[in-house]
Each structure stands twice: as structure tokens, then as C-alpha cells.
Copies of this chain bind each other. A is one copy, B any other.
Amino acid sequence: MAVTYREIKADILGRITRGDWKPGSLIPGELELAETYGAARATVNRAMRELAEDGIIERKRKSGSRVRLSPLRQARFDIPIVRREIEEQGAAYRYALVQSELVAAPDWVRARMGLAPGGKVRHLVCLHFADGAPYQHEDRWINLSVLPQARDADFATAGPNEWLVAQIPFSEAEISIAATAADAALSEHLACALGDPLLQIERSTRWKGQAVTFVRLVHHRGHRMTARY
């Protein structure tokens, strides 16, 4: 049987972790590795390419591949739809619309979304509950010049997230995470004390260069995001 790229990848990784090939040192070229493993160069290439994607090695034409000095640590977080996230925990999901209005975007939203002055947006405030307890507070702004349908859509029974996914399923987004203190509204909606530290995720989504929506998601007290790598 032929040698698989997984075996090669695992073996190379083993040599690196065992210290045979130290950080900063040069790894044999693809041609040489192909010969030692008795595989085609394409196979070795795939193993090496994945190691580079994983941040283990660094590759450059002409110079060759070397083990990274300090391994590039990168964590992938899944950003699920809230409903799915809650249901996967085995909890009952409930949604509530708190506020809904059509307004000219306030300045800070305009800045975040890159809208023209006087740009109209649909502003929604929603709550997501897990087993009856408040789970997430959603403050969403939808650009009506890109999505005029949002003017008449009904968000009383289903969250805007699921509606948006149906409208523009694929888009680019920028996401940022920070800690914030509960203000009066948040403390009431999330059933926590004024000033409690809360995890806040902001996401702005664009499609064909135009801002579609900006959302600020504030989680219940004590929420944590976890990833492995």
C-alpha cells in the first residue's frame, strides 16, 4: 500500500515535537522527503502544505521549509446561530422581540457600518432565552438601502439572524470580542446586577462592499467561549 499524506504529516510532526528538527531549522526538501518516504512529491507536498496551514512550519520558495521559531497559535471559534447553540446544550430555546423601529442610523452606528448621513436602518432589540433564563441580548441594525425587505419583515416570532441567513447566506464579516459592563437596560434584560462584567461580541457584515448589518451580542453573566487547538 502506498504511504498516505496523513502518515507523512504525522511522522514529520513527530520528528518536530520529538526535537529531531528544532525550531528555526531547515526541513529536507520535498524531493528528498518523497524519496525517503517512497511517495510522490504531490503527496509530500500535501502533508507539508497542511503543516504550514496549521502554523507548524513556514515555507518559502527557493529557501525551503523551516520549523517556526514560535509556533503560530491560532484558535478557531465556531460562531453558531444562537438557537442552535442553545438547543445543542439540551436547553429549551425561546425568543423575544423587545423593540423594533425604523430610524436614521445614529452616528456611532453610521461610523461602524460606513453609512451615508441620514441612512435609514431597521433597529431591533431581541432576547434569547435558554430554559427560561436570559442567555443573550441582541442589538441589531440592518441597512435598509441594501436590504429594503427588512422594512416589512416580521421579527416577532423568529430572530433576525435566521431571517438574514435566508436573505444573504454568504458574506464577509468582521467580529470583535470585548468585555463590557451591564448598563440599566442590560442588567434588567439579562437579570444581572448593574455593572456586572459581560462578554460582548460585535459583528459587522458586508456584502459586495456594502454594510449589511451590525450586531452587538451581549451574553449572560458568566458566559464563556471555548476552543481547542
A177 in the interface, Cβ–Cβ < 8 Å? yes
- Quick one: closest B residue to A208, CB to CB? B17
Contact B176 A225 (CB under 8 A): yes
Point out the residue from B70, B178, B195 that lies within 8 Å of A224, measured CB to CB: B178
Q: How many residues of A contact B (CB 8 A)?
A: 45
Q: Which residues of B contact A71 (CB under 8 A)?
A: 165, 169-170
A113 to B88, CA, bound (A): 26
- Quick one: closest B residue to A22, CB to CB? B169
Point out the residue from B23, B170, B174, B228 that lies within 8 Å of A174, measured CB to CB: B228
A16 to B168, CA, bound (A): 10
Contact B74 A78 (CB under 8 A): yes
A215 in the interface, Cβ–Cβ < 8 Å? no
A26 in the interface, Cβ–Cβ < 8 Å? no
A199-229 with Cβ < 8 A to chain B: 199-200, 222-229
A116 in the interface, Cβ–Cβ < 8 Å? no
Q: Which residues of B contact A169 (CB under 8 A)?
A: 16-17, 23, 70-71
A129 to B17, CA, bound (A): 32
A173 in the interface, Cβ–Cβ < 8 Å? yes
Point out the residue from B170, B175, B177, B222 that lies within 8 Å of A17, measured CB to CB: B170
A3 in the interface, Cβ–Cβ < 8 Å? no
* Chain A residues within 8 Å of B, Cβ to Cβ: 13, 16-17, 23, 56, 70-81, 162, 165, 169-170, 172-181, 195-200, 222-229
Contact B172 A229 (CB under 8 A): yes
A129 to B113, CA, bound (A): 32
Contact A75 B74 (CB under 8 A): no
Contact B165 A179 (CB under 8 A): no
- Closest Cβ of chain B to A199, distance in Å, is 4
With contacts A74-B77, A75-B79 taken as known, whether A225 is within 8 angstroms of B177 at the C-beta atoms is yes
Q: Could you list some 16 contacts between A and B, CB below 8 A?
A: A70-B81, A70-B165, A74-B76, A74-B79, A75-B76, A76-B76, A77-B77, A172-B228, A173-B229, A174-B226, A174-B227, A175-B226, A175-B227, A178-B224, A179-B180, A197-B198
